[in-house]
Structure 1
Amino acid sequence: MKKILILVFLGIVACSNPKEKTQIVEASCGQCKFGLDSQQGCDLAVKIDGQAYFIDGAHIDDYGDAHDKNIGFCNVIRKAEVTGKIEDGKFKASSFKIVEE
C-alpha cells in the first residue's frame, strides 16, 4: 500500500505543470528601459530576478500613453503585481496590475 501511495504521488508531481506565481515586479518598455532588442518597437516587459522578459497577455498602451513624460512605460519604470509564468523566453501573464506608489 505504501508503494502505491508513493507511485501515485510521484505521478501527480511528474504530470503537473509549473504553477503561475503572483509577484511584484518592475515593469517598463523592454526596448527603452530594459535594453531588450529581440522585438521591434515599444513593447511591455517585466524584470524578474534581474532578468527582463517581454510580456504576453498585457499591452504597453493598455496603461496609458507609453510616451507620457511622468507615467509612460517608455520613460519610467513602474511597479506591477503580475501573475503568470516564464515560458519560451517570455512572461506569460494571466494578470497585470499597476501598483501605485
Structure 2
Amino acid sequence: MKGKDCELAVKIDGKPYFVDGKNIDDFGDAHGEHGFCNAVSKAEVSGEIVNNRFKAKEIKLVPSKK
C-alpha cells in the first residue's frame, strides 16, 4: 500500500485498510528484521471499517508456524 511512511495496515477479505487506534511500533521495532515495515504477519483483529479505514479495538499477532 502507498502511504506517508511505514503505516500499520490490515487486509480483510483481500482488501487493505490503514489502521487507526493502534501504532505500528506497538508491536516492536517496525524496521527490525520481522517488523511490519519489512514483513507481513498474520493477526486476529477486532474493530470496524469506517471511512475506508480500520478502527482497531484489538490486534493479536498469530505466531508463525515453522
Do they superpose with TM above 0.5?
Answer: yes
What does residue range 33-72 of structure 1 map to in structure 2 within 5 Å? Answer: 36-37=1-2, 39-69=3-33, 71-72=34-35
Matched, 1:89 2:39: no
Larger gyration radius, structure 1 or structure 2 = 1
- Structure 1 vs Structure 2 CA RMSD: 1.0
Cα distance in 1, alignment partners of residues 59 and 21 from structure 2: 8
Stretches of structure 2 lacking an aligned partner (at least 5 in a row): none
Q: Which runs of 5+ in 1 are unaligned?
A: 1-35
% identical aligned pairs: 53
Q: Partners of 1:50 and 1:61 in 2: how far apart?
A: 24
- Report Cα offsets for 1:25-73 as digits up to 9, x if no partner: xxxxxxxxxxx22x3111100001111000011110011111111x110
**In the comparison of the two structures, how many residue pairs are matched?**
64
Mapped to 2, the partners of 1:66 and 1:57 lie a distance apart of 16
Question: Normalising by the residue count of structure 2, what TM-score does the alignment of the two structures yield?
Answer: 0.89
Structure 1 ranges of 4+ moved more than 2 A? none
Q: Which has the larger share of helix? A: 1
